[in-house]
Amino acid sequence: MSFTLGIGSRALDFNLPATDGKNYTLADFDAAKFLVIFFTCNHCPYVVGSDEITRLTAEKFKDQGVQFVGINSNSENTYQEDDFTHMVERMKTHQFPWVYLRDESQEIAEKYGALRTPHFYVFDSQRRLVYTGRGVDSPRDASKITVNDLDRALEELTSGKMISVPVTNPIGCNVKWEGKDKHWMPPEACDLVF
């Protein structure tokens, strides 16, 4: 079995605390027509470099029923700035248009097979996975972006079209796993496309 959720897989449940003081499960987003779950963090230069592009995409598709949910699974023992306190501060500062959840146990990152930050998962109205991978082709330096895969996938999804490119390789820092070297990835984790 692949490490990362495959196309057609159902969204997996979670129960995680958010920076707004509430806990959220998958069912809390039932009102959304489509759902984008993405693994992110506070410190990664690929996240920081592309968050404003992600914001624009989230705002563009909000009125078409697309809900964004960010999950930070990084070990705070690897990077302290990835802890919950810094998450709250980051959301207060930037007011991103998504719910920001903390997966301290890393169970959800493991269940979804999150490879990098950021790593996006787009689910249709039946909560089946229709796109997974990168947001853009140059997340660290937005001035060099030539392809916005996330925007294209959402454009196709909200227009009732088939997703033309359902899988790409996420580009970013690897998830920081508790008790492991900061560059470690699970041995079964690999690129999604070759």
The continuous run of DSSP H or E covering 132 comes out as strand 129-133
Spatial separation of the C-alpha atoms in residues 47 and 117, rounded to whole Å: 6
- Strands 23-25 and 34-40 turn out to be unpaired
Would you tell me which CATH number, out of the four given (3.40.50.620, 3.50.30.50, 3.40.30.10, 1.20.140.10), belongs to the domain 9-191? 3.40.30.10
User: Tell me, what's the pLDDT at 1?
Assistant: 46
pTM of the model: 0.96
For the segment 82-139, what is each residue's pLDDT rounded down to a tens digit?
999 999 999 999 999 999 999 999 999 999 999 999 999 999 999 999 999 999 999 9
pLDDT in tens, the chain (194 residues): 479 999 999 999 999 999 999 999 999 999 999 999 999 999 999 999 999 999 999 999 999 999 999 999 999 999 999 999 999 999 999 999 999 999 999 999 999 999 999 999 999 999 999 999 999 999 999 999 999 999 999 999 999 999 999 999 999 999 999 999 998 988 888 788 75
DSSP 1-42: --SSPPTTPBPPP-EEEBTTS-EEEGGGGTT-SEEEEEEE-S
User: Tell me, what's the pLDDT at 194?
Assistant: 56
Extract the tokens encoding 93.
Answer: 């500062």
| Helix boundaries (H) for the chain | 45-61, 84-94, 107-112, 149-158
Instruction: Give residue limits of the domains in the chain.
Output: 9-191
Spatial separation of the C-alpha atoms in residues 15 and 62, rounded to whole Å: 23
How many helices (H) and strands (E) the chain has is answered by 4, 9
Nearest by Cα to 130 from 166, 170, 154: 166
The sign one gets for the Cα dihedral 146, 147, 148, 152 is positive
User: Tell me, what's the pLDDT at 146?
Assistant: 97
Extract the tokens encoding 148.
Answer: 């916005």
Any bridge partners for residue 16, and if so which?
24
User: Tell me, what's the pLDDT at 45?
Assistant: 97
Q: Which residues contact 102 (CB under 8 A, 6 or more apart)?
A: 16, 17, 18, 19, 71, 72, 84, 87
